[in-house]
Amino acid sequence: MTERHLIVAAAQLGPIQRAEPRAVAVARMLALMERAHRRGAELIVFPELALTTFFPRHYCARIEDADPWFETAMPSADTAPLFAAARRYGMGFHLGYAELVVEPDPDGVVRPRRFNTAILVGPTGEILLKYRKVHLPGHAEFDPARKVQHLEKRYFEVGNLGFPVLRAPMGAVPGVNMGMLICNDRRWPEAWRVLGLQSVELVALGYNTPSLNQEAGGFEAPHLRVFHSHLSIQAGCYQNACFAVATAKAGIEDGCELFGQSIIVNPQGEIIAEAGSWDDEVITADCDLGMCELGRTTIFAFDRHRRPEAYGRITGQVGAVAPPVWSAPGGGAG
Ligand code: CDV
């Protein structure tokens, strides 16, 4: 069997403050691309909403007032240097950004629509694949009980592109099956499985995750935040026999702490590279895509072992229902 090795990089970004223009972020990203190229990287993954601060923490009464944080073209004058660098280095990249488009909504009304989006760009600088975040956390209205807002449900619509996977050349490999998830999606096994059912080999995933659970009425220890992030990604890779490059934005951004700990994970669920800083940092791994075969031909040979007839609730309902209550035979007290 021919070897299918791909050298991948996670390009973690330190904080991007509210006042910083896109050009500053792009210059930092270009420096990371150059660093990754020197290490032989053939694909580099940037975080969610990589061009600006994580603006859903800021409230705008009029949604249009948030539009300066959105991209209306890709590439744009600001992002074109990333595409040029991809061509220069023969390196693919994954980029998360806020997307503002005018397109028909589900009722056929053509209007401005806003999505939390990621693209996969090939080594020739062409956009290969686009994904729009499906699992939007947070809330739609200003919440006075929260110290920090999380207004993704205000600024973004639920992604309408499903979870696409595409086979395309990357580096020296003629065809890699690639898909994407964005941040909160990583916590949902359904999302991973939809990718797995399309034989995904590599998942590119960007995230912005605060070190504190601002929603928690009770206490959630900060170390568990990283544990749950890694747990979800490692389980997703193992159960779907794929690699993931999971890249964070990290550090104190607009006064809010984001944990980093970007990781690259193999199909056994093992972390094979991990960032150690809260700053701009490149981590790389040499991925033998042949490793995806073991899981998908044995434990997770979907065609032999899956039982969709027993999974109706997965797509048939949203919230959990209460189970029937046991009662003692004959109606006596239990
Ligand atoms: N950007 C995100 O989607 N963040 C969520 C936080 C709010 C929990 C996450 O799942 O990491």
What confidence score (pLDDT) does residue 214 get? 78
Is 256 catalytic? The answer is no
Give the Å distance between the CA of 154 and the centre of ligand 1. Answer: 15
Q: Which of 48, 152, 201, 253 is catalytic?
A: 48
Say if residue 75 is preceded by a cis peptide, omega within 30 of 0.
Answer: yes
Residue 252: predicted pLDDT: 98
Q: pLDDT tens across 125-134, in order?
A: 999 999 999 9
SS3 assignment for 231-262: HHHHHHHHHHCCEEEEEEECEEECCEEEECCC
Predicted TM-score (pTM) of the model is 0.96
- Which amino acids bring their CB within 6 angstroms of ligand 1? 48, 137, 150, 183-184, 187, 207-209
Q: From atom 4 of ligand 1, which residue's Cα is the shortest distance away?
A: 209
Whole-angstrom distance, CA of residue 140 vs CA of residue 296: 40
Owning domain of residue 215:
5-331
pLDDT of residue 221: 85
Q: Which portions of the chain are predicted below pLDDT 70? A: 1-2, 216-218, 332-334
CATH number at residue 168: 3.60.110.10
Catalytic residue among 42, 71, 99, 133: 133
- 3 included as an active-site residue: no
What is residue 332's predicted lDDT score, i.e. its pLDDT?
Answer: 59
Are the C-beta atoms of 279 and 14 separated by less than 8 Å? yes
The tally of domains found in the chain comes to 1
Task: Tokens 């034989």: give the residue.
Answer: 199
Question: What pLDDT, on a 0 to 100 scale, did the predictor assign at position 215?
Answer: 77
Please give the full DSSP string across 165-212, using - where no structure is assigned.
Answer: EEEEEETTEEEEEEEEEEGGGGG-HHHHHHHHTTT--EEEEEE-EESS
Structure tokens at 37: 């190229």
Phi, psi of 310 (to 5 degrees): -100, 0
Distance CA 253, CA 16 (A): 6
Query: How far, in Å, CA of 232 to CA of 153, rounded?
Result: 22
Question: Which of 150, 154, 259 is the best mutation target for the ligand 1 pocket, counting ligand atoms within 8 Å of the beta carbon and taking the most?
Answer: 150
Residue 147 known to be catalytic: no
